[in-house]
């Protein structure tokens, strides 16, 4: 499978690199410190058409392929992981409607989401149903022309900031998905979590207390919710790989500048073999991760609408696992290379190390991904 970048993809990569370095990088430390959703970055990404990069043109998106989307996420995460969440969570929250929603539902919501006029979120995880999705307790019961939802979700990215939530619940027929607006009576935002990293991406609890959702807001048919959720995560996994890849590359960027300037024993520390070997290993791991992420994205692009291919899902899981493990290893080594300076907030590698950890956890822990991979190869 060839995934050499086309001229158009190279142009997209160069454009977002320039924007990220000039406009997003200067805001990264402040976004982390304030721990608030960066609405200005959302507006910036919307203005340049990046917010709906991988969403269909007919609904206001840019209609780019998955690999182009991954290039965009990578370059933003390279300077600010929280800002890359603006892209990845918008994609995650909107895709269920694209994948399973009626034409009416798409017309109502996707254009505003694809252009950044409204913010999306994805409501699947519960206190007792993280990796064990089928153990969810949130219930949706038919009540005339409505569904009455009761239950709780947790660890919801964009919680409190989002306007439209793709929410999953149990029904008598299995599982169903719903598009729920933030001002729906009975829809309650709980506490905002205080997190280790990606602090500019709010994470909240959500409660449903006799929340009445119109039946036309169901995404797909009753009983199809689990399939919609899994199809969504299959498509978003390479994007998380790209996010992790960007974090790792950003940490290496900082190290390469630092080792040329920092002197010990009368010479730059980059002249010492111990440091050179660490940098070489970091570069090798990043390049290997880049190959897997790009290949997974290109493969899913080629799969298109042909359906679900287990070999492609395996590749997406491999990309997510390897890239996120690489991000954690590279950022940890980056802190070590900077020594005491790596441990303080004046330098960005401590933020990058904190941000990297979540990529091993969300959208399917790396342990669950290894289960997926092992089942596929066996």
Residues 88 and 245 sit within 8 Å (Cβ to Cβ): no
CA pair distance 29, 334, nearest whole angstrom:
17
Residues ≥6 apart with Cβ < 8 Å to 342 = 334, 335, 336, 349, 350
Which candidate in 75, 91, 350, 363 is catalytic? 363
Residues ≥6 apart with Cβ < 8 Å to 14 = none
For helices 310-338 and 273-303, angle between their N-to-C axes, nearest 10 degrees: 160
User: Which residue has 């995560």 as its token pair?
Assistant: 233
Predicted confidence pLDDT, tens digits, the chain (378 residues): 446 899 999 999 999 999 999 999 999 999 999 999 999 999 999 999 999 899 999 999 999 999 999 999 999 999 999 999 999 999 999 999 999 999 999 999 999 999 999 999 999 999 998 888 888 999 999 999 999 999 999 999 999 999 999 999 999 999 999 999 999 999 999 999 999 999 999 999 999 999 999 999 999 999 999 999 999 998 899 999 999 999 999 999 999 999 999 888 999 999 999 999 999 999 999 999 999 999 999 988 876 544 556 677 899 999 999 999 999 999 999 999 999 999 999 999 999 999 999 999 998 899 999 999 999 998
Give start and end residues of each alpha helix (H) in the chain.
7-19, 28-34, 39-47, 66-77, 81-100, 103-114, 225-261, 273-303, 310-338, 349-358, 366-377
- Burial call 248-267: b when 16+ CB within 10 Å, e when fewer: bbbbbbbbeebbeeeeeeee
Domain-wise residue ranges, the chain: 7-114, 120-225, 226-377
Q: Could you report how far apart the first and last alpha carbons of the chain are, in Å?
A: 22
Distance of CA 284 to the CA centre of its chain: 24
pLDDT the model gives residue 309:
67
Q: Does domain 226-377 match CATH 1.10.3720.10?
A: no
CA pair distance 89, 203, nearest whole angstrom:
11
Taking the CA atoms of residue 229, residue 230, residue 234 and residue 236 in that order, the dihedral angle to the nearest 10 degrees is: 20
CA pair distance 253, 259, nearest whole angstrom:
10
CA pair distance 97, 110, nearest whole angstrom:
7
Q: Tell me the sheet residues that pair with 214.
A: 146
Neighbour-count burial of 91, counting CB atoms closer than 10 A to its CB (0-12 exposed, 13-18 middle, 19+ buried)? buried
pLDDT the model gives residue 313:
83
Q: Tell me the sheet residues that pair with 150.
A: 139
pLDDT the model gives residue 96:
97
Q: What is the CATH number of domain 120-225?
A: 2.40.110.10
The tokens for 327 are 């991000």
Residues 249 and 183 sit within 8 Å (Cβ to Cβ): no
CA pair distance 248, 244, nearest whole angstrom:
6
Q: Assign domain 7-114 to its CATH superfamily.
A: Acyl-CoA dehydrogenase/oxidase, N-terminal domain (1.10.540.10)
CA pair distance 30, 294, nearest whole angstrom:
31
Active site includes 363? yes
pLDDT the model gives residue 32:
97
Q: Which of 126, 318, 347 is nearest to 251 (CA)?
A: 347
């Amino acid at each position: 499978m060839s995934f050499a970048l086309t001229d158009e993809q190279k142009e997209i990569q160069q454009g977002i690199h320039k924007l990220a370095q000039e406009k997003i990088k200067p805001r990264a430390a402040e976004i982390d410190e304030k721990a608030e959703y960066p609405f200005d970055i959302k507006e910036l990404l919307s203005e340049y058409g990046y917010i709906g990069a991988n969403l269909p043109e007919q609904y206001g998106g840019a209609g780019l392929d998955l690999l182009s989307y991954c290039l965009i996420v990578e370059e933003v995460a390279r300077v600010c992981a929280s800002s890359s969440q603006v892209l990845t969570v918008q994609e995650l929250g909107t895709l269920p409607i694209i994948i399973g929603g009626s034409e009416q539902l798409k017309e109502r919501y996707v254009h505003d989401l694809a252009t950044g006029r409204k913010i999306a979120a994805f409501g699947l995880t519960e206190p007792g149903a993280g990796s064990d999705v089928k153990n969810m307790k949130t219930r949706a019961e038919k009540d005339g022309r409505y569904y009455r939802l009761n239950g709780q979700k947790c660890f919801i990215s964009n919680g409190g900031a989002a306007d439209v939530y793709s929410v999953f619940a149990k029904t008598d027929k299995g599982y169903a998905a719903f598009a729920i607006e933030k001002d729906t009576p009975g829809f309650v935002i709980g506490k905002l979590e205080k997190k280790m990293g990606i602090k500019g991406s709010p994470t909240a609890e959500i409660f449903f207390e006799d929340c009445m959702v119109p039946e036309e807001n169901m995404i797909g048919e009753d009983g199809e919710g689990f399939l919609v959720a899994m199809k969504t995560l299959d498509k978003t996994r390479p994007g998380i790989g790209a996010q992790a890849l960007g974090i790792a590359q950003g940490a290496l960027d900082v190290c390469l500048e630092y080792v040329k300037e920092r002197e010990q024993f009368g010479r730059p520390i980059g002249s010492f073999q111990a440091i050179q070997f660490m940098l070489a290993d970091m570069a090798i791991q990043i390049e290997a991760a880049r190959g897997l992420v790009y290949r997974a994205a290109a493969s899913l692009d080629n799969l298109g609408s042909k359906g679900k291919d287990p070999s492609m899902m395996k590749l997406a899981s491999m990309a997510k696992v390897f890239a996120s493990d690489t991000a954690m290893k590279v950022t940890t080594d980056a802190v070590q290379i900077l020594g005491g300076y790596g441990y303080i907030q004046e330098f960005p590698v401590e933020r990058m190390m904190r941000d990297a950890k979540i990529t091993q956890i969300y959208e399917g822990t790396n342990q669950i991904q290894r289960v997926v991979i092992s089942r596929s190869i066996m």
